[in-house]
A and B are shown apart, each in its own frame.
Chain A
Amino acid sequence: MSTVPEELRYSKEHEWVRLEGDTATIGITHFAQDQLGDVVFVELPGPGSTIRQFASLGVVESVKAASDVYAPVSGEVVERNVKVMESPELVNNAPYEDGWLVKVRLADKSELNKLLTPADYRAHIGETAPNGSD
């Protein structure tokens, strides 16, 4: 698993977005889960809720503290990851796969332009080059 996969877009607050059609899947990055430590609780908005770009969409709690998750894009929540609510450690173990948080119907594709490319995000977290597996 790459720590900053090439096919995603990123926020400065360490969320990622994967776009498929007009559905955006959202999660937190490998870097974020590593900083948080063991995730033990996840609070997510239900289907039908509206989230706004760069506003808090939910909360991830580690053993140590609670952290807001900020929406990297605006849209209507179509699905939240029930598995991750039951097994929050998925955020640590597979942040880009089974540890995703919500899927939203994207309101405005141009919002993606306000996000970071993998190269920008790597620079943001101080990683110099694309990382292999870890």
Chain B
Amino acid sequence: MTTTAAALLRTPLYDEHVALGAKMVPFAGWEMPIQYPDGIVAEHRAVRSAAGMFDLSHMGEVYLRGPAAGRAADRLVSSDIAGLQVGQARYGLLCNERGTIVDDVIVYLLEPETYLIVVNASNVSTDLAHVRKHLPSDVDLEDASMDTALIAVQGPRAPVILASVTDLEVREATIEDLAPFGVAAARVGGARAHVARTGYTGEDGFEVFVPWERAVGPWSRLLAAGAASGLTPAGLGARDTLRLESRYSLYGNEIDETTDPIEAGLGWTCHLEKDFIGRDAIAAAKERGPSRRIVGLVVEGGVARHGHEVVHDGTAVGQVTSGTFGPTIAKNIALAYVPVALSKVGTELAVRIRDRDVPARVVRTPFYKASAAARVRPSPERTELA
């Protein structure tokens, strides 16, 4: 390995990953596990069939507090943050005035006047600058990214596993009572925590926020408690294949400051009835209609990757944003921007892989969908119960 490991940050679970035999790689300035000895495909399958546990402590956590925090969060984030009840979370976008995407985030209303915004690790400093620029002076901002560890337990067995080491603060409630996109204060493996029924895998699951210095306890307790249920540690490799099968956007791939929510298929996250940063530009983009759109592709005879050209009748017409082998559906899949005229399901296209045009067909997304009963995902049809 020739990476400059010295310059990379480590999560509080670094030693746990090394002890488990993880392959550590640089990611967004962090030294993170990309996979454990069983490999990406096995970890992916474990999450679909049993459960997997991810260290997401590299992600950013930003708190907004105070009587004006709700209004500020509602103006910063594209979705209906004003409509959140205490104990609810919502997926949304940070946009700039041009109506393009600064980051995708989840906003949690933890208690009255306390909003937690979880942002991508690669965007923490950009997001903080963006938030500061637009934040009224009477709202208290705290960057808790280096104080907050995040452990995700995802998969159909996640509720059973988490319940065995968790006590909710609300007496007699269990984590089974937590609605999709619900969040509650709890103790997990002895540590003070917030448990949210959110995730990025397309399965039922939870994200557990714990203090940085207490992260090892819950991680170890969960791993031990889940062993009998098939819980496996899972790395960033499986996280990517899982999110791609579920057609979730990845910042830097499907979305960035050159893409707008409409073409990215994230128009549903934009509550155009309210005023938020980028609202007018996004409303105009919606009115105009997009010129390109993200589609799902199944590729026959090669693996499409980020940056590959999409070809129609020998001409480059678009670009692959993400591509991989989808372990659950056992097909090579990709997301790509293509002209709207070529975005219909069933359209025959090609992806240029190493100078060869490999057949690709536009398919319906998500590529994979968990049974409705066991699903937590940022989607328009989600339900949020208090």
**Residues of chain A whose beta carbon lies under 8 Å from any beta carbon of chain B:** 37-38, 40-41, 43, 59, 61, 63-66, 92
Report whether A66 and B41 are in contact in the complex, using a CB–CB cutoff of 8 Å: no
Q: Are A37 and B35 interface neighbours, CB within 8 A? A: yes
A37 touches B305 (CB 8 A): no
Query: How many Å lie between the Cα of A5 and that of B237 in the bound state?
Result: 30
Contact with A along B323-365 (1 / 0, CB 8 A): 0110100001000000000000000000000100000000000
Task: Kindly provide the distance from the CB of B259 to the nearest chain A CB, expressed in whole angstroms.
Answer: 24
Docked pose: A97 CA to B305 CA in angstroms: 29
Contacts A61-B303, A63-B40, A64-B34 given; does A40 touch B325 at CB 8 Å:
yes
CB–CB B303/A37 < 8 A = no
The 9 A-B pairs with the shortest beta carbon distances in the complex, nearest first, are A40-B325, A38-B41, A63-B40, A61-B303, A38-B39, A41-B303, A37-B39, A38-B40, A63-B325
Q: Which residue of A lies closest to B241 (CB)?
A: A63
Complex interface: chain A residues within 8 A of B40 (CB): 37-38, 63-64
Contact check: which of A41, A59, A61, A63 meets B237 at CB < 8 Å? Answer: A63
Q: Is the interface of B mostly helix, strand, loop or mixed?
A: mixed
Please tell me if B156 contacts chain A, counting CB pairs below 8 Å. Answer: no
Smallest beta-carbon distance A87→chain B, Å: 11
Give the docked Cα–Cα distance between A95 and B237 (Å).
22
Q: Which residues of A contact B34 (CB under 8 A)?
A: 64
A61 proximity list for chain B (CB < 8 A): 302-303, 325
Within 8 A of A (CB), among B33-59: 34-35, 39-42
Q: Which residue of A lies closest to B238 (CB)?
A: A63
Residues of chain B within 8 A (CB-CB) of A38 are 39-42, 325
The bracket for how many chain B residues form the interface is 10 to 19
Smallest Cβ-Cβ distance to B332: which chain A residue:
A41
CB distance from A38 to the nearest CB of B (A): 4
Q: Which residues of A contact B354 (CB under 8 A)?
A: 43, 59, 66
CB distance B237 to A64 under 8 Å?
yes
User: Are B324 and A63 touching (Cβ within 8 A)?
Assistant: yes
Given A63-B40, A64-B34, A64-B40, verify A40-B302 contact (CB < 8 Å): no
Please, how many angstroms separate the alpha-carbon atoms of A59 and B354 in the complex? 10
Are A63 and B41 in contact, with the CB atoms below 8 A? yes
Contact, CB under 8 Å: A40 / B237: no
Given that A37-B40, A63-B41 are known contacts, is A43 also in contact with B35, CB under 8 Å in the complex?
no
Chain B 145-161 near chain A by CB (<8 Å), digits 1 or 0? 00000000000000000
Additional 18 contacts, C-beta under 8 A, given A41-B302, A63-B237, A65-B305: A37-B23, A37-B40, A37-B237, A38-B40, A38-B42, A40-B41, A40-B332, A41-B303, A61-B302, A61-B303, A63-B40, A63-B241, A63-B324, A64-B40, A66-B303, A66-B305, A66-B354, A92-B39
In the complex, what residues of A have CB within 8 A of residue B39's CB? Answer: 37-38, 92
Within 8 A of A (CB), among B279-335: 302-303, 305, 324-325, 327, 332
Closest Cβ–Cβ distance, residue B358 to chain A (whole Å): 10
Q: Which of B234-263 contact A (CB under 8 A)?
A: 237, 241
Q: Which residues of B contact A65 (CB under 8 A)?
A: 305
A26 to chain B, nearest CB (A): 19
Q: How far is the CA of A64 from the CA of B41 in the complex (A)?
A: 11
User: 25 A-B Cβ contacts within 8 A?
Assistant: A37-B35, A37-B237, A38-B39, A38-B40, A38-B325, A40-B41, A40-B325, A40-B332, A41-B302, A41-B325, A41-B332, A43-B354, A61-B302, A61-B303, A61-B325, A63-B241, A63-B324, A63-B325, A63-B327, A64-B34, A64-B237, A65-B305, A66-B303, A66-B305, A66-B354
